[in-house]
């Protein structure tokens, strides 16, 4: 059974025409205890057929443990999108609904010819002196989630000090409970900072600059740094 309609495949093929570099996608799936892994495999196999620039490979985190440990993958399904040199940009969960849009944008960012980040963000990342882990909780039905997911992925793609994880909240309820996800998108940075709702790129960077300088020891809302500025 196919996941993409003929019309969808044609549209995605046109989108992939913008790729000027190869894009590598590692797909981690398993047969046991992963009810959504089969759909994830199907979607990525179909995408792989739509562009020669796309290089999709499949792994099992249970049997390919060395690769999974190296890539920092500890759950499935998982996707890693890169130029083949890093594993900083991850998607956990089946790329359906609005999450599919986030994945497509990240593929175009990775294989495209332009840097999509604004100058202020690039400067922030160039000056960054500590590592950031940005976890963005999303759902397929959330129209506001792609902007948050794509921003985190772009920042991780640009800087080796940033790692992004776009997490489908319903597929990983234990993580949603751990990070107290009650609405999406919810962005969690280093397990300390959080933001509910979609922040613009400039707002996110300004809040992070102030938050990192403040260096709080307990969970802190990034919006507080914007409201108090």
pLDDT at 19: 98
Task: Give domain status of residue 177, yes or no.
Answer: yes
Same domain, yes or no: 11 and 70: yes
Calculate mean pLDDT across residues 155-164. Answer: 98
Same domain, yes or no: 55 and 130: no
Q: Which of 90, 111, 132 is the last residue of a domain?
A: 111
pLDDT at 229: 55
Same domain, yes or no: 144 and 49: no
The angle, 0 to 180 degrees and rounded to 10, between the axes of the packed helices 145-158 and 98-111 is 30
DSSP code string of 46-84: HHHTT-TTEEEEEE-TTT-HHHHHHHT--SSSEEEEESS
Same domain, yes or no: 177 and 195: yes
| Domain range for 51 | 6-111
Same domain, yes or no: 144 and 178: yes
Number of domains in the chain: 2
Contact partners, residue 43, CB within 8 Å, separation at least 6: 3, 4, 94, 95, 96, 100
Handedness of CA 152, 155, 156, 160 (dihedral sign): negative
The pLDDT tens digits of the residues spanning 197-229 come to 999 999 999 999 999 999 999 999 999 999 865
CB-CB contact of 92 with 165 (8 Å): yes
Averaged pLDDT of the chain: 96
Same domain, yes or no: 143 and 97: no
Q: Which of 63, 82, 111 is the last residue of a domain?
A: 111
pTM of the predicted structure, to 2 decimals: 0.96
Same domain, yes or no: 36 and 53: yes
What is the end-to-end Cα distance of the chain in Å, rounded? 53
Task: Give domain status of residue 1, yes or no.
Answer: no
């Amino acid at each position: 059974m196919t996941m993409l309609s003929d019309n969808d495949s044609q549209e995605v093929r046109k989108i992939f025409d913008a790729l000027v570099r190869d894009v590598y996608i590692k797909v981690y799936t398993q047969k046991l205890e992963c009810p959504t892994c089969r759909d994830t495999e199907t979607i990525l196999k179909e995408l792989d057929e739509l562009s020669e620039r796309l290089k999709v490979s499949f792994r099992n985190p249970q049997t390919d443990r060395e690769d999974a440990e190296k890539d920092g993958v500890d759950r499935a399904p998982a996707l890693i999108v890169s130029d083949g040199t890093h594993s900083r940009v991850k998607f956990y969960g089946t790329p359906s609904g609005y999450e599919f849009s986030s994945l497509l944008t990240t593929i175009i960012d990775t294989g495209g010819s332009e840097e999509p980040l604004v100058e202020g963000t690039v400067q922030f990342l160039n000056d960054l002196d500590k590592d950031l882990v940005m976890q963005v909780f999303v759902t397929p039905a959330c129209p506001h989630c792609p902007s948050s997911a794509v921003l985190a992925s772009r920042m991780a793609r640009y800087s080796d000090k940033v790692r992004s994880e776009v997490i489908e909240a319903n597929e990983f309820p234990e993580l949603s409970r751990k990070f107290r996800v009650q609405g999406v998108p919810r962005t969690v940075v280093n397990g300390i900072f959080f933001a509910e709702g979609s922040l613009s790129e400039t707002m996110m960077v300004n809040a992070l600059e102030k938050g990192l300088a403040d260096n709080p020891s307990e969970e802190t809302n990034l919006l507080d740094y914007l409201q108090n500025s």
